[in-house]
Structure 1
Amino acid sequence: MTDEERAGWDHTPKKQKTSNSSPENDLYQQRCSLPIYPARGKLITEIRKAASVVVLGETGSGKTTQIPQYLLEAGMTKAGMIAVTQPRRVAAISISTRVADEMGCELGTQVGYCVRFDDATSEQTKIKYMTDGMLLREAILDPKLSRYSIVVLDEAHERTVHTDVLFGVVKAAQQHRANGNRPLKIVVMSATMDVDSFSQYFNKAPVLYLQGRQHPIELMYSSSSQPDYLFSTLVTIFQIHQEQPVSEDMLVFLTGQEEIESVARSVREVALDLPQNVPGLVAIPMYASLPPGQQLRVFQPAPSGKRKIILATNIAETSVTIPGIKHVIDTGKVKAKSYQAGSGLDLLRVQWVSQAQAWQRTGRSGREDSGTCWRMYTEDEFTKLLANTIPEIQRCNLSSVVLQIMALGIKNVLTFDFMDPPPRESLEAALKHLELLGAVSRERHLHLTPIGKEMSTYPLDPPMSKVIISAKDYGCLEEILTIVSVLSVESILHSPMSKRDKALAAWKKFYCSEGDHVTLLSVYRAFKAVKNKKEWCRENYINHRNLKHAMEVRKQLRDLCVRANLTLQSCGHDFTAIRKCLIQGLFMYSAELQCDGSYLTLDRKQTVSIHPSSCLFQCKPSYLLYSELVQTSKCYMRNVCVVDAEWLYETAPSFFRQRCGKKR
């Protein structure tokens, strides 16, 4: 973009009548003070002219809340709603709430949101904030996205799997509607400078640059490499707390729930030993699997005389703006998926962030005022980071992606219009996986089977969708829903390092000889039966928050089963039915005991071991199913279940004949 073009953004806005000293006037003044406001007229003109537009909006520019309102005020919703997609549900909910306040309407009327299992929209809705996944689900029923006149793809730089698939789906919908009287406009919004690829992908769309309101940020690097970044983070937290005004809140970037809760406990413990004249601390966690109500706690101000410390995953990099943040502590680490199609390993491991991510984190401290970013790594380490994050679609298991694409009616996934195509071997492996599950057939042509179409309606990985659908044949849907729900959340077993032995002893009362899946069912049933649930969880080293979340997931899945007319039967204590049902979706994740006491996976002949957290760790069953493989010092099977070799062979005879070389 030329200097002349950039200069064109600074035009004088038209004055509007406002009342004096009212909440509406305050919100209006805030809108007018945003950096995006002078560009309002130019933005509307450019979006009217072009089929697609890429907006590069720096942190704090106001693009997410204001652009949809500008388009609505310009009368560009006569042919349909404005959809604004977000990678995460907490962002969709919080931003739509803010926009509804600015417009002076009730949430769910003119402005609404739609996230998984929570639809706050109506016939009046003109601006609809939603997760990427929800718009994809709508596209399965309506590939032309005919309800919408404009689709705004926000936070495009995050490049989640859903975002990348959505690029292709929205682009195809635009092409379908190009010759009609209701063309679809696409607005791609990014907060990082790497926007040329977006422009090229959307037919050389013009790139519009918005100046952000970034306050000065002091950048502090570690003087030496930190072998224990969590300890150095804790030290930095209390250094800031004792030196800076209590009104200045902190945001700390960590890798996941376990790490966040560990640091939160340490913060509370250390705070108890602080001098009486030092203000108090409120440590608030923020990660994707937190229930929505608890995620929204981060937006509430700290109690009087206390400092708020947000302990967050990368969910806080760009998706949400938390008021009051003056200090950011960046550990430089993130937990990311890494799939190896050759070995079948889908690893979730801690790794370095990219430089783009590091700058996004830094920008969080300069949204409202000058701030400080404390990097727990050296400047030399920063220069060695990757410039940009590798798109998730190039480093994850694609079975769910392929199932979703085929559910959209796209037959040849190998030629799908990806912006950055994943490795062909990953797509082929996903197709083979779905074929073995009975979701895909190659007879005459590649297509989804009726089972595949049914599987695509569940927001789960294909193996677990298949297990739920199969439960009707084994009369154990109630139990399977519980097991799948518990597996869908972070671990419900809580074992502090200092009380590991006590935790193991407490869990033994729930152990079942059939394996971890039935053990988790036992824990859930016991939890449901007690009255004082929090106290019971504390005594038994069970994570109350995660178990409550599993209950919410179960309710949502049960509603889907009711809609699908699945019979909600219980098998009571017939655990054989449960194990046979699990095989229907997990038979590829099976292993056989070897003479030396190790296990060999039947699929890829890989040496694996039972994870130490398993109730079967001290046992050696001949055959096992597992829910996932994790790689640490060696390759471990997590969540294992005892099965019979004959059950495996009966479920998938051709699969096991090829791998075992003989019939049983």
Structure 2
Amino acid sequence: MSTPSSPIHPGQGLPILAHGPSILGALDRADVLVLSGETGSGKSTQLPQLLLARHPDAVMAISQPRRVAATAVAARVAAERGEPLGGVVGYAVRFDERCSPATQVRYATDGLMLREAVGDPTLSRYTHVLLDEVHERALATDVLVAVVKRAAILRRQLPEPTGGEGAAGAPPNPGPLKVVLMSATADVELLVRYFSTAPPPAGRDAPTADAAASPSPSAVASEALGVASPVVKKKKKRPRPGSPLPVAAPPPGSGLAVARHHVRGRQYPVTVLYAADPVADYLDAAVTAALQVHVDQPVPGDILVFLTGADEIDAAVELLRARAGRLLERSDARSLLPLPLYASLPPAAQARALLPLPPGKGGRRSAHGCRLCGGTEVVAPDGGGRQTMGDLVHDGAVRASRSGGGAAADADTTTCSECGGRVTAASAAAFAAAAATVSAGSSRGSSAVRKVIFSTNVAETSVTISGVRYVIDAGVAKSRTTTPSGADILRVAPISRAAAAQRAGRAGRQAAGVAYRLYSEAAWARMAPRPVAELASADLAPTVLSLLAMRVCGPRNDPTAFDYLQPPKTAAVTAALERLVGLGAVAVTAGSLAVTPMGTAMARLPVRPAHARALLESVALDVTAPLLSAVALLAADGAVWAAGAAARAAADASRRAFAHPTGDHLTLAAVLDAYAAAAGEGGEGAGPFCKRHALNARTLAAATSVRAQLAGLLDTISREPHWVGVAAAGGVLPGGAPAVAAMDPAERVRRCLAAGYVGAAASWRGGAVRAYVLLGGAKPMAAAVHPSSVLSAAALARGGGGTPAGGGASGAAAARRPADDDGRGRRPRTVVFDELVITSKAYLRSVTAVESGWLVEHGGDYYRSVQA
């Protein structure tokens, strides 16, 4: 394997470097190292490089809770080493990967590593696994912690490596697995206790071959979970953190040897200021505070503003532009550069927020205007290439498309250094002229341009945004929970004190900074000390399916027997199992749980179980194209239509033009199909199309990439021999293939959605209720259709949609309105939905009309209560 080249050292001076020998020594003596340290100490970027320098043949995985952090930190480390991204250092996130056979340092999201563990439970390809930001207690992070512990124990118990095949033809033992858990605010005692403790017993004895299971699948699943969950006891005494403590070596056959180390010293001090009184509108207050900081505080010093979601951020960017133009002098307004940052942005758009602005003297920033990658290039005075390559600035990149001094390699065209695309000189000149105009309009010069980055909590950890000295914290974030029936609930909730500390720390990464909290000190004191583990509130169906597919839950494959970091409630696991049984992903045989071929295929698709089941059903019903488009847009997780007051009227008109009479999923399919046609050969172009229809080009571009990858996975699955039986099991139509062929395509799509959205359906109730009531839960919940839906009350009052404007499979023929309506031919009686949003009231988002009989056909006894 390759060894590091001579590195560039922007990390010099980071506190972790002084602790390097102690950290590496502790890890040599132990199986597991719990590494805590202040924000900005260099854990995420420097420790992998220290390990690689000490162990040149090491292959390590570094997990991150968010894709933005995985891609950005990988790019930063590759830049520090002076190497191209995708070589020794690479990343792998959902729908995107830049790795090669030479990759030894692989940054990946927690979810992707969990899917990798399904096929390789011992993680045999790695010598080291580093789990970053474990304090966040994300669902995938907690489960990955347990999976990595199990892999380390299994590999420790294997015979010593022999360098050849085992006696039974098994692959050679990969050797012990070294594990590092990193965080600034983690509960160190909990992690040390967990890894040094032996896993609980596997569960009940394996059932005999003649054991029978006569009750319903849901009842058997509930009975199989009768084992009491293990309890983690808290120790009263908590040792003071400091230098590495003696390694806790447990008895043979029990847990793992665990060491811990604390890296002291934040780089720069941060002053924290609180609001005197609670703010009525935190978005408006955040924009006002950003303008005030810009006016009062000298440059340099960029501003990072924490908000909750993509729609809110896009609105804040537009609001800041409008207020700056109205309230500031023209030159001062031009020096303010508002930028969005959230997970669903494409890498090139994320790079615009993460890139440092070029120096004011001698350097210049020129976007070469590549339509393929959106890359930009910054040419420094000494001619050294600095370019984004779609992610971050890479110093000394060897793939620069320009020669020394910035001279173009060709008089007429410029070659994109990332994708090889050719851009005309006129296009490059237009970008350069626009940049020069902005710089010239600022009385303080290009060096005085100040970025205002509006971000979700993706910027809370790991990601270093160069130049940030001021943080504005709204104190809230989107929190996703689930109802007993499995419906996702998205609401805005206060963050924890640990998260507030992480946000404030962003201001002290490169210089002394200030954190402005838009809440009072009393409100901060009322916050929870640490984030609540998602295992306690999130939908467990994806996690349970992954665990069952890995068969890591004992002889009966009982999910409550799994060695969780902190076990979830048994009732939540049971509810998840009931939905998986209703989806056809899990079956109960002789009192034991097993993943069906349908469930195995669902686990291979990197989307939610509801979307995976609907996609697989679409293969059986021969209607994959519109389902792929709808699911891709939902998975892209960004606003489809342009946000903000100025674009609202145009966006509403566009939504009506594309509206499908049966609901939002076919509307989304029509939008993406029309976008693909416009962006293809002979079309008007993606940019003009999005502008004409008030669409968000970033979301549509991301969804196009997601769609292509999902289509490839579906094609692979549908060609496999076992899929014949899966497809036959998927269809429940009495007439078989002839009945499918005679069915309207829109009806097939709606049947697929009914098969997938088990637990996410609602029925209209008139009378005093006059709202949709969720089906399948123990406690009924009433909700209205979200105003953005084509089935909202306002949209129906306007007459709803007509024939979709986008064409495609969903628009080939105008679909009739569903027969199962409210008796007036307008409001559907039964709907499925993608998300339950709770603000001042509960709303159903991304809604499509179905018929109640379809729910019973696909959901089995889960929907007995909706049988007409």
- Tell me the TM-score normalized by structure 2: 0.70
Aligned partner of 2:571 among 425, 431, 434: 425
Tell me the equivalent position of 2:499: 357
Among 779, 791, 798, the residue aligned to 1:616: 791
- Deviations 1:334-369 (Å, cap 9, x if unpaired)? 11112232x644211111111111111111111111
Identical aligned residues as a percent: 37
Kept in 2, the 8 Å contact 1:346–1:397? The answer is yes
How far apart are 1:144 and its partner, in Å?
Answer: 0.9
- Structure 2 residue aligned with 1:391: 533
- Distance 1:44-1:539 versus aligned 2 partners, 3 A rule: same
Deviation at 1:47, TM superposition (A): 0.6
Residue 400 (structure 1) aligns with? 542
Q: Name the stretch that deviates more: 202-211 or 262-271.
A: 202-211
Task: State the 1:526 CA deviation.
Answer: 2.8
Q: Does 1:460 align with 2:603?
A: no
Q: Of residues 728, 748, 762 in structure 2, which corresponds to 1:577?
A: 748
Are the equivalent residues in 2 in contact too, given 1:90–1:296 (CA < 8 A)?
Answer: no
Alignment-mate amino acid for residue 339 of structure 2: I
Q: Report the Cα offset of residue 69 of structure 1.
A: 1.8
Note if 1:192 corresponds to 2:363: no
Q: 1:67 to 1:525 in 2, by over 3 A?
A: closer
Q: Does 1:297 align with 2:343?
A: no
AA aligned opposite 1:557: L
Q: Show the counterpart of 1:447.
A: 594
Instruction: Give yes or no for the alignment of 1:171 onto 2:149.
Output: yes
- Per the alignment, do residues 650 and 64 of structure 1 end up closer, same or farther by CA in structure 2, a change over 3 Å counting? closer
Distance 1:622 1:145 in 2: 49
Whole-Å separation in 2 of the counterparts to 1:612 and 1:213 = 46
Could you say if the C-alpha distance between residues 232 and 459 of structure 1 is closer, same or farther in structure 2, counting changes exceeding 3 Å? Answer: same
Cα distance change, pair 523–208 in 1 and its aligned pair in 2 (3 A)? same
Query: Structure 1 residue aligned with 2:339, among 262, 277, 284?
Result: 284
- What amino acid sits opposite 1:419 in the alignment? L
1:115 is aligned to 2:93: yes
Q: Distance in 1 between matches of 2:108 and 2:305?
A: 27
Check whether the contact 1:59–1:363 (CA below 8 A) recurs between aligned residues.
yes
Alignment check: 8 A CA contact 1:153 1:187 kept:
yes
| Cα displacement (A) at 1:593 | 3.3
Among 693, 714, 719, the residue aligned to 1:561: 714
After alignment, is 344-353 or 502-511 more displaced?
502-511
| Aligned counterparts, 1:330-345, within 5 A | 330-341=473-484, 344-345=486-487
**2:15 match: secondary structure:** coil
Superposed CA deviations along residues 282-316 of structure 1, whole A, max 9, x for unmatched, are: 11111111112211222222362311111111111
Q: Which string of whole-angstrom CA distances, capped at 9 and with x for unpartnered residues, describes residues 16-45 of structure 1?
A: xxxxxxx957x24x4442222222221111
Q: Describe the shift of the 1:52–1:648 C-alpha distance in structure 2 as closer, same or farther (beyond 3 A).
A: closer
Deviation at 1:595, TM superposition (A): 4.0
Choose the corresponding residue for 2:462, options 292, 297, 319: 319
Aligned to 1:4: none
**Conserved? CA contact 2:830–2:850, under 8 Å:** yes
Is this contact kept in 1: 2:299–2:450, CA < 8 A? yes
| 2:674 corresponding residue in structure 1 | 526
Residues 24/477 of structure 1: CA separation in 2 closer, same or farther (3 Å cut): same
* C-alpha contact 2:489 2:835 (8 A) present in aligned 1: no
Instruction: Call closer, same or farther: CA 1:506–1:213 in 2, change over 3 Å.
Output: closer
Given that 2:583 and 2:758 are in contact with CA atoms closer than 8 Å, whether structure 1 keeps it comes out as no
Q: For residue 620 of structure 2, what is the amino acid of its counterpart?
A: D
**Secondary structure of 1:555's aligned partner:** helix
1:264 matched residue in structure 2: 317
1:94–1:631: structure 2 CA closer, same or farther, 3 Å change rule? closer
Deviations 1:580-631 (A, max 9, x none): 2222112543333334253333423543333332222323223322223223
Question: CA offsets, 1:29-70, max 9 Å, x none?
Answer: x44422222222211111100111111121222222222222
The structure-2 alpha-carbon separation of the partners of 1:85 and 1:602, relative to structure 1 and needing over 3 Å to count, comes to closer
1:591 maps to which residue?
762
Structure 2 equivalent of residue 659 of structure 1: 865
1:371-386 alignment, distance < 5 Å = 371-386=513-528
SS of residue matched to 2:600: helix
AA paired with 1:348?
L
Match of 1:218 among 266, 271, 289: 271
What is the distance in 2 between the residues matched to 1:206 and 1:142?
Answer: 26
Quickly say closer, same or farther: Cα 1:45–1:463, change in 2 above 3 A.
same
For structure 2, which runs of at least 5 residues remain unmatched after alignment? 161-174, 197-247, 249-257, 359-445, 679-683, 728-739, 797-825
Displacement after TM superposition at 1:281 (Å): 0.9
* SS at structure 1 position matched to 2:157: coil
**Which amino acid in structure 2 is aligned with residue 228 of structure 1?**
D
CA contact (8 A) 1:285 1:311 kept: yes
Residue 548 to residue 108, structure 1, CA distance change in 2 (3 Å): closer
- The amino acid of 1:478's aligned partner reads A
- For residues 41-56 of structure 1, what are the structure 2 equivalents within 5 Å? 41-56=21-36
TM-superposed CA distance for 1:501, in Å, is: 4.8
Residue 231 in 1 paired to residue 284 in 2? yes
> Secondary structure of the residue that 2:61 maps to in structure 1?
strand
Alignment of 1:503-514 (within 5 A): 503-514=651-662
State the one-letter code of the partner of 2:329: P
Paired residues of 1:476 and 1:577 also in contact (CA < 8 A)? yes
Contact kept in structure 1, 2:759 and 2:775, CA below 8 Å: yes
Distance in 2, matches of 1:308 and 1:502, equals 29
Cα displacement (A) at 1:545: 1.9
Contact 1:406 1:448 in 2 (8 A): yes
In structure 2, how many angstroms separate the alpha carbons of the residues matched to 1:32 and 1:541?
47
Which amino acid is 2:25 matched to? Answer: T
**Residue among 687, 690, 702 paired with 1:549:** 702
Change (3 A) 1:499 1:416: same
Could you tell me which amino acid in structure 1 is paired with residue 155 of structure 2? R
Task: After TM superposition, give the deviation of residue 573 of structure 1 in Å.
Answer: 7.0
Tell whether the 8 Å contact from 1:24 to 1:102 is kept in structure 2 after alignment: no
Structure 2 Cα separation of the partners of residues 441 and 653 of structure 1? 13
- State which drifts further: 489-498 or 288-297: 489-498
Q: State the distance in 2 between where 1:464 and 1:513 align.
A: 21
Q: C-alpha separation between the residues in 2 aligned to 1:320 and 1:37?
A: 19
Q: CA deviation at 1:441?
A: 0.8
CA contact (8 A) 2:647 2:694 kept: no
- Cα–Cα, structure 1 residues 111 and 509, in superposed 2: closer, same or farther, change >3 Å? closer
Match of 2:300 in 1: 247
1:603 matches 2:776? yes
Instruction: Report the aligned-residue RMSD.
Output: 2.5
Q: CA, structure 1 residues 266+147, in 2 after alignment: closer, same or farther (shift >3 Å)?
A: same
Deviation at 1:495, TM superposition (A): 5.2
The one of 557, 562, 568 aligned to 1:416: 562
The code of the aligned residue for 1:44 comes to L
Q: Is the 8 A contact 1:282 1:302 kept in 2?
A: no
What CA distance in whole angstroms lies between the structure 2 residues aligned with 1:451 and 1:145? 25
Give the superposition deviation at 1:500.
Answer: 4.2
Whether the aligned pair in 1 keeps the contact of 2:134 and 2:182 (CA below 8 Å) is yes
Deviations 1:420-477 (A, max 9, x none): 2122111111011101111011111111111111100011111110111111111101
Checking the alignment, whether the CA contact within 8 Å between 2:486 and 2:759 is kept in structure 1 is no
Unaligned runs of 5+ in 1: 1-22
Q: Within 2, Cα distance between the matches of 1:651 and 1:361?
A: 45
1:562–1:229 Cα change, 3 Å: same
Match of residue 94 from structure 1: 72
Quick one: which amino acid aligns to residue 261 of structure 2? L
* 1:73 aligned residue: 53
Query: Residue 442 of structure 1 aligns to a residue in which SS?
Result: strand
Structure 1 counterpart of 2:630 = 483
- Give the AA of the match of 2:131: L
Q: Give yes or no for contact 1:84–1:130 (8 Å, CA) kept in 2.
A: yes
Shifted more, 540-549 versus 247-256: the winner is 540-549
1:256 CA drift (Å): 0.8
Change (3 A) 1:479 1:50: same
